[in-house]
Structure 1
Amino acid sequence: MIVGAYEHPDRIIKDRSVATVHAEVARGALADAGLTMDDVDGLFAVGGDITLPGLALADYLGLTGLRYVDTSMTGGSSPVCMIGHAAAAIADGRCRVALITLAARARSSRPAPIGRETPDVPFEQVYGSSTLGMYALAAMRHMHEFGTTSEQLAEIKVAASLHAQHNPRALLRTPVTVEEVLASPLVSDPLRRMDCCVVSDGGGAVVMVAADVARDLERRGVRLLGQSETVGHTDNGTIGLTATAARWTAPRAFAEAGVGPDDIDYASIYDSFTITVLETLEDLGFCDKGKGGAFVADGALRAPFGRLPINTDGGGLCNNHPSMGGMSRLVEAVRQLRGEAAPEVQVADCGLALVHGSGGRIGSRHVAATAILAAEGA
C-alpha cells in the first residue's frame, strides 16, 4: 500500500546538494503518510552521483533501524521497478515501512560521463550515438512503417501543455498548439524541440507500508495490484526501433492485477520524447501496433474527458524531468487515485491507474517497468 507521496516543488535547485533534495522529498512523503524517519526500515534510493547511495543516504537521513536496502539503478524506470521490489520485501516480511526516494540536479550540475567500462560505449559512442539521435531514429522508422505524422506526435505535447497550465510548479506552463510544435526548431529529424522533455532539477518520494501499518494511518492509500519489469536490448544486433519492452511488461502486470487496458481510468507514461509515449501506448495494449498516431489524435490524451488521460501534471514534456522521470509519473498517479490532482484535470471516479517507466534508450537498450495501481476501496 502506498500511503505517502511527495514531489519536490522546485525545478531549479542551485543552492542544495542532491543529498539534501533526497532528504527534503523523504520528509515530505513521510509527513504525507503521517510517519517519521524512525518508522522507516526499508530504504530504496536512486539518483544523483552519490557513491554507495544506500549507505550514504541511510547515514545522512539518520536511519538506524534499516532491515532492507535497494539501490537498483534502471534510469527513469527505477521508481516503478522499486515499488515492485518494496512490495515483495514487505510481503516477505523483510521490512514494514519502505521509503522510495529519487533526486537529481540534471539542470544545475554537469551530468556524469558515461562509464568507459559500459560494453556498448566502444562500439557506439565513438560513432556519435546519442539519446536524442536514437529516439529520432525510432520516430523516423515508426513514420516509415506506419505512416505516423509529426502532427500526431505534436498532439502528445499539446496535451501535456494543456495539463501543465494548471500545475503552478511546472517548468513550462504555456499551452501550445500543434502548429506551434511543428514550428519549433528541428533538433534531430523528425523530432523538434517541443517533442523533447524539459531538463530540470528535482525529485520525489513515496512510502509503501504493510497492510497492518496502513490500517493505523489516517491517510488514504493506494494499492499496488500488479507490477512487472524487464530489459529490452539489441539482442546482438536485432534492433527493434518501433517497439518497447512494454510489450512484455504490460501483459504480466495486467495479468497479475486481473484487469486489462480497457479498465484503466488514467495513465502515467514516461515521456522523455513524444515518440516514447506513442510507442509505449501501443505496447501497453491501448491500441494496436502502428495505430498510436490515430489513437492520440483529437484530444484523446487530454484530461479530464479524453479517451485515456495521461500525465496530468504536464509530464516530462512540460513539468519536470530531473534526468529520470519515473518518480513524477508515480506521484501524479497517486494524486489522481486519491482525487488530489488539479481540479481542472482530475479524472472523475479515478479507480485504476497505470504507471510506466522507461530507462535508457528505446531502439537500443532500456529497462521498462509497468505498474497497475488502485484507489483504496476500488
Structure 2
Amino acid sequence: MTALASPPRRKVAIAGVALADCGRVDDRTPYALHAQAARRAVADSGLDRTVIDGFASAGLGTLAPVDVAEYLGLRPRWVDSTAVGGATWEVMAAHAADAIAAGHANAVLLVYGSTARADVKARRRTANLSFGSRGPLQYEVPYGHTLIAKYAMAARRHMHQYGTTLEQLAAVAVQARAHAAANPDAMFRDPITVDDVLDGPLIADPFTKLHCCIRSDGGCAVLLVAEEYLPDAAKAPVWILGTGEYVSHTAMSQWDDFTVSPAAVSGRLAFERAGLAPAEMDIAEIYDAFTYMTLVTLEDLGFCAKGEGGAFVEKGRIGPGGELPVNTDGGGLSACHPGMRGLFLLVEAVRQLRNEAGSHQWLRPDGTAPRLAVASATGGWFCSSATVVLGRD
C-alpha cells in the first residue's frame, strides 16, 4: 500500500494584538473586556472577523469557551479551553499554531478578560488563594500553604542553596518598575528602590508587598493566522518560531527541586524547535507574579547558569537599556495582573517586535526594533510552564 504524502505544514504568524481597558476598571464586566480586546485585536490585524474559525479562552463562563464565543458572535470549528494557570495562554498559542499549521483552523483568536481587582473591591469574590482542600492539595492545606507561601518557600530554598539575596530579588521589582515608568498603560509608574522593596510590609517570608504582583483588572487578545492571510493583514507578521510546554506538580511534596521550574523543559523545547539559542533573544517577557519567578525562569530558560540568577538580575541588566530587557511593559509587578497574565506577555512581545510600544519601546544598539523575543509563562505555583519564541523574520 502506498503511503499518502503529508500535506505541507503552513507557517503561522500573529497578525493582531490588543489590550482591553486595564488597571482600574469598575464599569465593565469580564465579558465586556473580552469583547473589547477581541474587537481591537481584529481591527489591529486589518482582517475581516469572518476569517476567524478558531477560538480559545479560559476561566470565564459555564461552558468556557462556548459561551464566551457566543457572546462575541463567533461559531468556531476549533476551540481550546486549556486551564493550567498563568501559562494557559502560551499553551493555547502552541495548540493554535499546531492546528493552523496542520490545516485544522485558519485564524484562531485568543482572548482574556478579568475584573479581579473590581470584584474584590465590590466583594463579589474574596482574595483567598488557598485553592481548596480536595484532591492532592488536602494534605497541604492544613499547614496553611497559600499560593504566595508556596512561592516564598521556593524562593527561600534558592536563597539557601545558592546564596541568592533579598537585594537581588528586590532588584527584579525595581527594574520592572523602571520599565513601567515609561509605559502610560502601567498601573504603577512611580520609581522604587531596593530599600523600598525591603522595607515594605511582609506578606510571606521573604516576600514583602513589592515582591508580589499587583491586582488589577484588564484584558487582551491575540489573533494567530495562517501565512496565506498575511497579504491582507495591516501589519508585518510576527512569526511563531517555536513552542514548548510542560507540567510539573500540584502538591509541593511532588516537586523534585524547588530551584528548578518547569520552564527548564518548556524553554528547551521551544528553543530547539525554533533552532535558536537564548543568547540570540533581544527581549524576554516572563511571567512575574513574584520576583523569584523572574529570577528562576531566566536560569531555566538558559540565560544564565543554575544558581546565577541573582547575579544576572543585578546592575540593571534586565531593566531599560539593559543587556536583556525583561517585561518591558512593567510586568505583573507594576503594569497589570488581572489573574492570569500569560496572554499579556505575547501582546507586549509582538508590540516590541513591531516597534509599536511607543514610549517604552526597546531598541537594539543599531537603533532598530528587536528581531527575536521569548515569552515564557508559569502557572499555579510552578505547576506548569509554556514558552513561545517569536520573530520578525
Amino acid at match of 1:201: D
Aligned with 1:77 (options 87, 94, 114):
87
How far the C-alpha of 1:235 sits from its partner, in A, is 8.5
3-state secondary structure, aligned to 2:83: coil
Partner of 2:17: 5
**Maintained 8 Å contact 1:37/1:62:** no
Partner of 2:381: 361
How far the C-alpha of 1:118 sits from its partner, in A, is 4.5
**Maintained 8 Å contact 2:109/2:223:** yes
**Maintained 8 Å contact 1:13/1:202:** yes
How far the C-alpha of 1:230 sits from its partner, in A, is 0.8
Partner of 1:226: 242
Aligned 1:1-378 pairs, distance under 5 A: 1-48=13-60, 50-64=61-75, 66-109=76-119, 110=125, 118-233=134-249, 237-303=254-320, 305-348=321-364, 349=368, 350-362=370-382, 366-375=383-392, 378=393
Aligned length: 370
Aligned CA distance change for structure 1 residues 307 and 219 (closer, same or farther; 3 Å): same
How far the C-alpha of 1:17 sits from its partner, in A, is 1.6
Query: What's the C-alpha RMSD, in Å, of the aligned pairs?
Result: 1.7
Distance in 1 (CA, whole Å) between partners of 2:314 and 2:340 is 27
Distance in 1 (CA, whole Å) between partners of 2:226 and 2:133 is 40
Distance in 2 (CA, whole Å) between partners of 1:326 and 1:160 is 16
Amino acid at match of 2:287: Y
Distance in 1 (CA, whole Å) between partners of 2:334 and 2:195 is 17
How far the C-alpha of 1:39 sits from its partner, in A, is 2.2
Distance in 2 (CA, whole Å) between partners of 1:272 and 1:296 is 16
> Any idea what the Cα deviations from partners look like across 1:40-68, whole Å, max 9, x if unmatched?
100011234x111221012111113x210
Distance in 2 (CA, whole Å) between partners of 1:227 and 1:297 is 29
Amino acid at match of 2:373: A
**Maintained 8 Å contact 1:46/1:103:** no
How far the C-alpha of 1:91 sits from its partner, in A, is 1.1
**Maintained 8 Å contact 1:37/1:61:** no
**Maintained 8 Å contact 2:131/2:146:** no
Aligned CA distance change for structure 1 residues 111 and 258 (closer, same or farther; 3 Å): farther
Amino acid at match of 2:186: A
How far the C-alpha of 1:301 sits from its partner, in A, is 0.3
**Maintained 8 Å contact 1:47/1:103:** no
Amino acid at match of 1:153: L
Distance in 2 (CA, whole Å) between partners of 1:84 and 1:157 is 29
How far the C-alpha of 1:38 sits from its partner, in A, is 2.2
How far the C-alpha of 1:127 sits from its partner, in A, is 2.2
Q: Which runs of 5+ in 1 are unaligned?
A: none
Aligned CA distance change for structure 1 residues 217 and 170 (closer, same or farther; 3 Å): same
**Maintained 8 Å contact 1:157/1:181:** yes
Amino acid at match of 1:339: N
3-state secondary structure, aligned to 1:75: coil
Amino acid at match of 2:295: L
Distance in 2 (CA, whole Å) between partners of 1:21 and 1:242 is 36
**Maintained 8 Å contact 1:44/1:101:** yes
How far the C-alpha of 1:221 sits from its partner, in A, is 1.3
55-64 or 76-85, larger mean C-alpha shift: 55-64
Distance in 2 (CA, whole Å) between partners of 1:295 and 1:116 is 36
3-state secondary structure, aligned to 2:87: helix
How far the C-alpha of 1:116 sits from its partner, in A, is 5.3
Distance in 2 (CA, whole Å) between partners of 1:301 and 1:314 is 11
3-state secondary structure, aligned to 1:46: coil
Distance in 2 (CA, whole Å) between partners of 1:347 and 1:173 is 21
How far the C-alpha of 1:78 sits from its partner, in A, is 1.0
3-state secondary structure, aligned to 1:107: helix
Distance in 1 (CA, whole Å) between partners of 2:330 and 2:132 is 35
> Any idea what the Cα deviations from partners look like across 1:107-128, whole Å, max 9, x if unmatched?
1121597775852232122321
Distance in 2 (CA, whole Å) between partners of 1:46 and 1:35 is 24
Amino acid at match of 1:37: R
TM-score, normalised via structure 2 length: 0.90
Aligned CA distance change for structure 1 residues 112 and 68 (closer, same or farther; 3 Å): farther
3-state secondary structure, aligned to 1:21: helix
